[in-house]
Amino acid sequence: MTSPQPPIRAAIIGYGGSGKLSHADPMRERPEFEIRAVCDVSSAQREQAQKEQNCPVYESVDQLLEHAGELDLAVVVTRTDTHCQIVRDCLRAGLHVVVTKPWALNRAEADQMIEASIAADREIFPWMPMSWSPEYLMIQGLLQEETIGDVFLVRRQIASFWKRDDWQTRAEFGGGYLLNWGMHIVQPVLDLVPSPAIRVFGQMQQTVNPGDTEDNFLAAIEFENGTRGIAEYTQALEGLPSFMIQGTRGMIHSDGETLTVLKKDPGSDKSTERSAYPITGKRYGDELEIYADIAASLQSGKPMRATTRHAYYGTLVLDAIRESHQTRQTVAIPDCPIPDLPNDIPLFKSSGFAT
């Protein structure tokens, strides 16, 4: 009989709404984890964490890491511009790290974190919840079955119409909708196309929000196999389908609640076959499932659905979208091999991204 493994001793750095709801709450429901500490600069958040988690609380990361020997995992849920330094400090202290989206401001930060991960022989788990989205997984399965033939267009769009006035509207703090929504919008397009992106055209706008950074973006992505990808966040009262995928024998489109498959031979006069399937579960991924997979990766080496390599690829594309907007030119995606990382898997069999 196999003895149960000891729980993964975790610390949460940043106990705001996301730190509690997306990380602390699901970890408390998973027997594989034990929350041993919370760190937050806010005295009110520390008081709340102490009451809710019944664990030591710390004001600074330095104070927390004095007790790194009592921990296995740090969960970084802080402002975007702080991720790189905190993640590297935690890795150097011997901890594995979960880091919320976006994991890095840019490629330079991603490189620094990967270097620290390799040096420490510890894993980084970028928070990429769309890889657990039931909507995304249904589409992924249909594409693998070649349900609509050869795919030549993958479009992803999210629309909403509301104003926010917080650090996410300030460039100095790593704000802006491209970084904030990139893992939800751009990354699924990249992951659904089994070929590397080679160039991108990007355009961004600041419309209803205050601050100094974009609240709309649009990216047109060209893939090596000829597929076109379109990823868009727009301020609008109503939007397009959240996913629209066109192939040589049909289409998949989804509104987040119902996924519809339309099949038709373009050379035939026969009517279009239409099938609709309800989408159940959490639209942007179930945190309980994500933490179950993180535990399986740490305890038994099971590969993750969303790896550091995927996140790095996404960062290269987000950088190119921003550069394209700034230069008003199409920008090539650099073919940047990255070192092998623990439990990482290749993106493509015939690309430099896989080496």
d(CA 152, CA 239): 22
Any bridge partners for residue 259, and if so which? 254, 277
Does the structure show a pLDDT above 60 at 1? no
Per-residue model confidence as pLDDT tens digits over 53-87: 999 999 999 999 999 999 999 999 999 999 999 99
* pLDDT, averaged across the chain: 93
Please report, as a single letter, which amino acid is at residue 170: R
Does the structure show a pLDDT above 50 at 105? yes
User: For residue 265, what are the contacts with CB-CB under 8 A and spacing of at least 6?
Assistant: 249
Tell me the average pLDDT across 165-171.
Answer: 95
Does the structure show a pLDDT above 70 at 113? yes
Does the structure show a pLDDT above 90 at 171? yes
Q: Which domains does the chain have, with CATH numbers?
A: 8-128+286-307 (3.40.50.720), 131-278 (3.30.360.10)
Per-residue model confidence as pLDDT tens digits over 253-299: 999 999 999 999 999 989 999 999 999 999 999 999 999 999 999 99
Say what angle helices 308-327 and 177-192 make with each other, to 10 degrees.
120
Given pLDDT bands bounded at 50, 70 and 90, which one contains residue 344? low
pTM listed for this prediction: 0.94
